[in-house]
Amino acid sequence: MPKARAPSRRSKNFPATLAGVAEDQATDLNALDIWFADEARIGQKNKLTRRWARRGTRPSAPQDQRYASTYIFGAVCPQDAKGAALVLPFCNSSAMTLHLAEISAMVSLGKHAVLLLDQAGWHLSGEVAVPANITLLPLPPKCPELNVMENVWEFMRDNWLSKSRSGKF
C-alpha cells in the first residue's frame, strides 16, 4: 500500500501538511524536498486528408488509420533544479512504480521527497511500490494548475513535441 497522505482539512494549509509529513518521517522541515509529478501521452494521430477535385466528383482520399503513442512520466524539484523522467509504452501501476524508483534515485541523501501528484488511479493504487524516501501527497481533484508539471508539458508540446506548432520536424 503506498504511503499517501489522505486529503484532509489540513490540505488547504500546505505548511501544516508539510509539518505533518516531517513529523511522520521523524525529520526536519529542511530535509523535505517538494517534487511535482505527472505524465503526458504523446504520439501520432492522423488528420483527415484534403484533396483538390473538380466540382461534382468524389476523389479517393486514403488515410492512414494507424496511430502510435507513448507516455512520458516526469517529475521536477524546482527548489533543487532536479528532474527525473521515463518514456514508457504504458501508463499503469507498474509504470508508476518504475517512475517512483527513478525519482527516489534523484532525491539527495538524507532528504525525504514529498511528491505532489494528481489523483489518477495508477498513482494511488495499492499495487504501486512507494520507496521509503518518498511520501505521496495527492492534489485536490480538478486542479491541474497546482501541478508545475502541467507547465512543463505545455512548453515541451509547444517547442519540441508538436510538428504543427514548432515546425521543427
pTM of the predicted model over 0.75: yes
Write down the H helix ranges in the chain. Answer: 14-24, 93-106, 149-156, 163-166
Cell of 105: 534515485
pLDDT at residue 81, as a whole number: 93
Backbone angles phi, psi at 82, to 5 degrees: -120, 155
Backbone angles phi, psi at 89, to 5 degrees: -75, -20
pLDDT tens digits, one per residue of 95-142: 999 999 999 999 999 999 999 999 888 888 889 999 999 999 999 888
Residue type, 12: K
| Structural domain boundaries in the chain | 9-41+69-162
What are 81-86's contacts with CB under 8 Å, separation 24+? Answer: 82/106
pLDDT tens digits, one per residue of 34-75: 999 999 988 876 666 667 888 888 887 777 677 778 999 999
As a 3-state breakdown, the chain gives helix, strand, coil percent values, each rounded to 5, of 30, 25, 45
pLDDT at residue 49, as a whole number: 66
Helix (H, G, I), strand (E, B) or coil at 107: coil
Cell of 99: 517512475
Gap between the Cα atoms of 42 and 163, Å rounded? 12
How would CATH label the architecture of 9-41+69-162?
2-Layer Sandwich (3.30)
pLDDT beyond 60 at 164: no
Cell of 76: 521536477
CA angle 61, 64, 67 (to 5 degrees): 150
Gap between the Cα atoms of 43 and 71, Å rounded? 9
In 3D, which of 112, 43, 114, 30 has the Cα closest to residue 75?
114
pLDDT at residue 111, as a whole number: 94
